Amino acid sequence: MSINAKPEWPPGGPETAGGPFVGMYPTGGSVIFMPLPGNIVWNDTHGFTTVDESKSMIGKLGAGASVARGAVTRNSETGERLNVLNVGAGLAAGGAFGAGAVTLGSASGLSTGGAIINPQTRTLFTGSNIRTFSFEFKLVPKTKEETESVQAIHSEIRKWSYPNAIPGTNNIILEFPSVWDIRLYNIKNAPRIMPCYLTSFTTTFNPSTLIWREDNNPVEISLSIAFTETRPPTRADL
């Protein structure tokens, strides 16, 4: 590979060829320019869960019933009122969704159905999911200069995808790999990509041919790169 080869495709910069292109900036490395491939997917997803508020209500009823049962009955009228409260709370706290409901249905003479307490289900937001992005490039160099550019791209991407071992630790302690800044150019309404880690890099030589060049270089090279954002974006990041 030529020392002067730059990690860009086509040589001279993708802006010379026109059209959208992507710039990949690894921390500490050289920017890699490539034409933007088609079929770019933006997958914005968010996490939600459901809770039944009635369970909290039943717990409060049970706690209130315990306090009532501990009260001292001073006359028959108060005692009757406490007994009614205890029966109602016992039904709620003791199995309104299960045995209590079945007993109520049986006592009513119903062969099917019964009664339950409305679970009062609510949806709660749990957070936004971290996004992933992938790019598929197929490069067919036609000259020695283009072949050297492809080799420079391949070498630079592989180099900055790996972690660096901290000196003196015998490869036991590793630094985090570089964070990548992904920027899209000459494309309208492109969502912003947060800083990313490169999580997967696959290179295929001659994916659709068995022929090699006379200098033993491949005729075509396919690069598959996957990135994962370091954090999900918020509304202010968009």
**What is the mean predicted confidence (pLDDT) over 146-154?**
88
Q: Which of 124, 144, 138, 141 is nearest to 4 (CA)?
A: 144
Task: Assess whether pLDDT exceeds 70 at residue 113.
Answer: no
- pTM (whole model) above 0.95: no
Residues in Cβ contact with 186 at an 8 Å cutoff, skipping those fewer than 6 apart: 15, 18, 19, 20, 21, 36
Q: What is the largest CA-CA distance in the chain?
A: 108
Mean pLDDT of the chain: 79
Q: Which of residues 132 and 189 earns the better pLDDT score? A: 132
Integer-rounded Cα Rg, in Å, for the chain is 33
Domain assignments of the chain as residue spans, ordered by start = 14-45+130-237, 48-126
Residues in the chain: 238
User: What residues contact residue 37 under an 8 Å CB cut-off, 6+ apart?
Assistant: 135, 136, 137
**Winning range, highest mean pLDDT, from 71-75, 97-101, 127-131, 207-211:** 127-131
Q: Which of 97, 96, 115 is nearest to 105 (CA)?
A: 115
Q: How confident is the model at residue 133 (pLDDT cuts 50, 70, 90)?
A: very high
What are the pLDDT digits (tens) for 198-231? 999 999 999 988 888 888 889 999 999 999 999 9
pLDDT, tens digit (0-9, with 9 covering 90-100), for 30-65: 899 988 888 888 889 999 999 998 776 665 555 555
